[in-house]
Structure formats: C-alpha cells, structure tokens
Amino acid sequence: MVTKVGETQAVWAFTEHEHRDLERGINRVHDVACEVGQRPTPELSTDVIAVLSWINDKLEPHIAWEDGWLYPEIEARVGTPWATRAARFDHQQIREMAERLSRDQVELATHAPGDHQADTRCHLFSLEALLRAHLEREERFLIPLLQDDAADGHQ
C-alpha cells in the first residue's frame, strides 16, 4: 500500500519529469517565434503546424491529467477549489492562445493579406510566457501543497 508520503513523492517526480519534457516543447515555441520574419511564410506555416501538433500531442494530455487528477487531489487535500482556480484559468488562457495560433496558421497557409507574421510572433511569445509562468506557479505553489500535507503526517 502506498502512503500519502510515497504518493506525494511519486506525484512530484512525475510532475517534474513532465515539466522537463514540456520545457523542450516550450523552447521550440520560443525558437519558432524568434524565426518569424527570417523565414519564408510557407516554412513558418509548417513550423506553426509542428507547434500545434506538440500542443495536441503533449501539452493537452498534460493539461487533461492536471485538470482530471492533480488539481482535484490538491483541492481535496487542502479542502477548497480555490487552491487551483488560477491554474485552471491558466489552462483556459493557454487553450485560447493555441486557438489563435491555429487561426494564424490558416492565415499563413492561405497567404491572406495582412501582417500575419507579426501576429504569429506575438502569439508564439505569448504562449511561451503563459506556459513558463504556469509551470513555475505550479512548482512553487501547487505541488508544495501536496508535500506540506505529507509532511504534516496526514495519511
């Protein structure tokens, strides 16, 4: 039988591994944003498709795990849904930014008139900032709530 202490350590290790894996994808988002204006639009469109694929294949499952297991676990341990309210809002903002990038990619692919590269750059850097801030807040404020519970001897 796994105790809360052992479970907490496993959750921390899993989350740390997940965040390191996500960091590689976030770095790629940054790299694509830096390349905007230096690459032809068709290549940029392909790069944005790759970012969107990463969001769908890696980021969304992570968000689903947090929303479906991690946050309810934290809420149950601390006794209030307010503990994770800001993190859930972050998820909403991240998804909205991903939707904007999806629209940007369509605009880039169709070569519609307008300064879509500037919009795309802005949206990529915004997504990067949202993701980095979200991960840091989780690591500093949410995951320690699990550790505090285990350290207090609640099993």
Q: For residue 121, how far is the Cα from the chain centroid?
A: 18
For range 118-134, the mean pLDDT: 97
CA distance 82 to 87: 10
* Percent of the chain's residues with pLDDT above 90: 73
Q: Is the pLDDT of residue 1 over 70?
A: no
Angle at 126 between CA 121 and CA 128, to 5 degrees: 100
Q: Which residues contact 120 (CB under 8 A, 6 or more apart)?
A: 36, 44, 48, 101, 104, 105, 108
Question: Are the beta carbons of 135 and 19 closer than 8 angstroms?
Answer: yes
Summarised one tens digit per residue, pLDDT across range 27-83 is 999 999 999 989 888 899 999 999 999 999 999 999 999 999 999 999 999 999 999
Tokens of 135: 């991960």
The whole-number pLDDT of residue 60 equals 98
- The whole domain housing 74 covers 4-151
Tell me which of 11-25, 34-48, 97-111 is least confident: 11-25
Q: Please give the tally of structural domains in the chain.
A: 1
